[in-house]
Amino acid sequence: MAAVSRPRNIVLTSLVVAVAAVLAACGGGSNTPTNHVLVVDKSFDMKTADPQREFEVSGGIVAKALYSTLLTFKGSDSATPVPLVASSYTASSDAKTFTFKLRSDIKFSDGTTLTSADVVFSFNRLINIKGNPSFLLSGITVSAPDASTVVLTSSTANPAIPFIIPNPALGIVNSKVVKAHGGTDQPGADKSDTAEAFLNTTSEGSGPYTLKSFSTTSEVDLTANPSYFGAKPFYNTVVIRNIQAPTQLIDIQKGSNEIAIDLSSDQAATLSGNSSLQVKASPGPNVFFLLANDNPKISRITPNKHFQNAIRYSLDYASYVQLAGAGAIQTPGVVPSMFLGALTPADDAQFDLTKAKAELAASGISNPTVNLGFPSDFTLNGISFSTLAQKVQANLQAAGITVNLTGSPISTALADYRAGTEQLGLWLWGPDYPDPNDYLVFLPGQLVGLRAGWAAGADPSLEALGVQASSSTDNTARGHLFQQIQRQLNTDGPFFPLIQPGQVVVATKGVTGADYNPTWTIDVAGAGG
């Protein structure tokens, strides 16, 4: 008898719980956000809220809101750094010394005044933690002659510094409080700094918001900083939620005061007739490119310059743009269209199958077969690398080149790419900072150049141009030099720039200022209603 009644009791109890849950659910979202809450939907790559350790898209959004930087950009602009914590700055004529004068009215969220000591601590901490963003200040020494002056001294000419400084990873922390919680800026900080856990619970910055709650997997809640020195943000509370793109597409159509920033161009196209939403699609800063390895030990085929030209002419660039959807453009060079030194559409590579076949014949290689490596599980801006790779395979097949697709999951494909062992590779470069110096990596002997088997000394004239461009202090001259570099890359280099995919930002009607910026994606403090 008892044995029978137990399951029955379980069933009855379960029924009661289920009914209670259903009844509770029938309220249908009674706690929907009120008007002072801004909701940002983002597929998280979040690791930390510690500004000196974060270098992910999600982390950049959070750090931008919590911490102020010496310089910043306005809205979607990334060409003109403007003062923020600094009242002004000067650069030496050799672009090795940059002097920043600080404002005196800036306070951290606990009321402490921000001084040059906090800047020095934050920057040295970034350098000595040896984390993802540490390279931003590589070769730079930070000093403070007085409480309101900070001097950055570079071992080599570095005109990109004003473009690097606005990065949220260079957000200034309250040095006294962070030190008190295990932070250090001394050499060895990679082992001895223990402040990350603290900074994941409490923000110690002077930005427009303070941290209310932080989770790397569900959501980050921010609340307005009453001590903020700038204009009070419109939204008192910001909730940044970890939501995948398909769900963002549904959520944004029901939301209010909401921004979605991971929708693909195709997904955004389904919203075009929705009058309650604003859809902005513009060329994003990521450059997708193909490489042919120049190292004869990796392939006897791909270093052949005629073979490389055959690839260049066989790619149907317009079809890649079409595949990428709204906002996408063909990229004429490796520097994206919104940065100094970008090429114009007049420099676009042209699809010409006849020329491709002629170049292949001139290469002296008959029926070539090569392997194409790519991250098979990776999708960015709604574009799957597997789909792109199939398109490359079809294009090259039409010219007489057989391509074996040898894609693998990104964690393993990256190893081959970074080791420079791919015959052909399909990859992207995202900007670390909005300056063409970040694209010198494509030159011989540099980071990406080596991945394409392009060793130092392979093209002395191009390398000399790179040295000249990286040290020039005149931005106009730098722009021309980078254009010259890219034109030469397009004729002599082993790289084939394909597209800049569109960057889509969707906001509900009434939300203003939801502008995409390559350095921090979205500035939630800039959003209005």
Site for other proteins, residues 20 to 39, rule: CB under 8 A = 20-22, 24-34, 37, 39
Query: Which residues have CB under 8 Å from 109's CB, separation 6+?
Result: 174, 203, 204, 205, 206, 210, 225, 226, 227
CB of 13 to other proteins, least distance (A): 8
- Give the shortest CB-50-to-other proteins separation in angstroms: 8
Q: Given phi > 0 = left and psi -120 to 50 = alpha, else beta, which region is 259?
A: beta
Rounded-to-integer distance, Cα 496 and Cα 518, Å: 22
Which range binds other proteins by CB under 8 A, 124-132, 329-337, 509-517, 519-527?
A: 124-132
What are the backbone angles phi and psi of residue 170, rounded to the nearest 5°? -100, 20
Q: What pairs with residue 425 in β-bridges?
A: 291, 373
Helix (H) or strand (E) holding 140: strand 140-146
The residue from 117, 186, 227, 254 that contacts other proteins (CB under 8 A) is: 254
Distance CA 154, CA 96 (A): 5
- Taking residues 3 to 22 in sequence order and writing x for each that binds other proteins by CB under 8 A, - otherwise, the string is xx-xxx-xx--xx-xx-xxx
297 lies in the site for other proteins, by CB under 8 A: no
The reply to whether 456 sits near other proteins by the rule CB under 8 A is no
- 213 makes contact with other proteins (CB under 8 A): yes
Nearer to other proteins, 51 or 131 (CB): 131
How many residues contact other proteins, by CB under 8 A?
77
- Using rule CB under 8 A, residue 237 touches other proteins: yes
Q: Which residue of 83, 101, 179, 221 would you call a contact of other proteins, by CB under 8 A?
A: 221
Nearer to other proteins, 55 or 100 (CB): 55
Q: Map the footprint of other proteins across residues 34-63, applying CB under 8 A.
A: 34, 37, 39, 47-48, 53, 55
Name which position in 96, 125, 241, 478 contacts other proteins (CB under 8 A): 241
Q: Coil, strand, or helix at residue 225? A: coil
| Cβ pair 88, 155 in contact under 8 A | no
Among 147, 415, 456, 477, binds other proteins (CB under 8 A): 415
**Rule CB under 8 A: which of 147-206 touch other proteins?**
190-191, 196-197, 200
Cβ proximity to other proteins: between 32 and 113 the closer is 32
Residue 487 class from Cβ within 10 Å (0-12 exposed, 13-18 middle, 19+ buried)? middle
Q: Which residues, 260 to 279, sit near other proteins by CB under 8 A?
A: none
229 residue type, one letter? F
Q: CB–CB of 113/107 below 8 Å?
A: yes
Q: Check if the beta carbon of residue 481 is closer than 8 Å to that of residue 313.
A: no
Pick 368 or 466: Cβ nearer other proteins: 466
Task: List Cβ neighbours of 297 (8 Å cut-off, separation of 6 or more).
Answer: 453
